[in-house]
């Protein structure tokens, strides 16, 4: 299984929060990555990223960061939240502009 229900995700996050509080350490660094089921269709994955990003007060964008992703990131000191999924590279016209024309070629 590569995805869990929102209810189970929330329960796991609560358990982690409790463990961090109980650990008795002075400071921690947190990196949280959340995203859709990796086997869902691309339009569905993009929609999930957009909805999650909006729920966290973020805006997702499609970027090439060594591979194409739909992504939203928040960095606050020692806390990083990343909402993302892999996406296909945009189609490009011969002139290089992004487009959806039938003569488009992969980027």
Number of domains the chain is built from: 1
Task: Report yes or no on 50 lying in a domain.
Answer: yes
Residue-wise over 3-36: b if at least 16 C-beta within 10 A, else e? eeeeeeeeeeeeeeeeeeeeeeeeeeeeeeebbb
Per-residue pLDDT of the chain (107 residues; tens, 9 = 90+): 689 999 999 999 999 999 999 999 999 999 999 999 999 999 999 999 999 999 999 999 999 989 999 999 999 999 999 999 999 988 877 777 766 655 545 55
pTM exceeding 0.85? no
Rounded to whole angstroms, the Cα distance separating 23 from 33 reads 22
Task: Report yes or no on 11 lying in a domain.
Answer: no
Task: Report yes or no on 71 lying in a domain.
Answer: yes
Task: Report yes or no on 13 lying in a domain.
Answer: no
Domain that holds residue 63: 26-106
């Amino acid at each position: 299984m590569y995805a869990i229900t929102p209810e189970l995700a929330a329960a796991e996050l609560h358990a982690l929060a409790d463990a961090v509080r109980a650990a008795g350490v002075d400071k921690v660094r947190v990196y949280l990555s959340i995203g859709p089921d990796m086997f869902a269709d691309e339009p569905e994955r993009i929609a999930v990223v957009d909805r999650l990003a909006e729920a966290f007060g973020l805006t997702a964008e499609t970027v090439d960061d060594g591979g194409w992703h739909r992504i939203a990131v928040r960095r606050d000191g020692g806390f990083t939240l990343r909402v993302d999924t892999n996406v296909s590279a945009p189609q490009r016209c011969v002139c290089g502009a992004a487009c959806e024309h039938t003569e488009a070629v992969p980027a």
